[in-house]
Amino acid sequence: MLVKKLFIFVTMIIVCQKPLKKLKINGIAFFPFIFIRKPEDKENNVLINHEKIHLRQQLEMLIIFFYIFYVIEYYYWFFKLKDGYLAYRRISFEREAYANENNFNYLKKRKFWNFRKYL
């Protein structure tokens, strides 16, 4: 509950970054920032909600452990599936975010470490 209460007080900062235009991603979350490719993506509620789910995951795992686990899980799936995109889509954090990005009330009722359901 402490993380949920703390998250309420943390300001989310949305930044439009030109370097993202070279990547095949629309957004990426690095706590407390959400970096987006295009300025108009600020209005994309689904994208912003997806990234806010990642911000919550990062906070729950004390930020650094999120990234460590993310990279380990990515390479596990990459070596198993031999496909970068499929490996990315199998990461538990991504599976949770994609499954709930259209549910704008999800973060209000989300349980602590809920990404474990997607392992």
Q: What angle do CA 103, 112, 47 make, to 5 degrees?
A: 30
pLDDT tens digits for range 5-29: 455 445 678 888 766 777 788 999 9
As a whole number, the mean pLDDT across the chain is 90
Average pLDDT over residues 36-45: 93
- Longest Cα–Cα distance of the chain, Å, equals 41
Compare 17 and 119 and report the one with higher pLDDT: 119
CB 25 within 8 A of CB 33: no
pTM: 0.88
Q: Do 101 and 53 meet the contact criterion of CB atoms below 8 Å apart?
A: yes
| pLDDT at residue 109 tops 70 | yes
Distant-in-sequence, close-in-space partners of 37: CB < 8 Å, separation ≥ 6: 16, 17, 20, 21, 23, 25, 26, 27
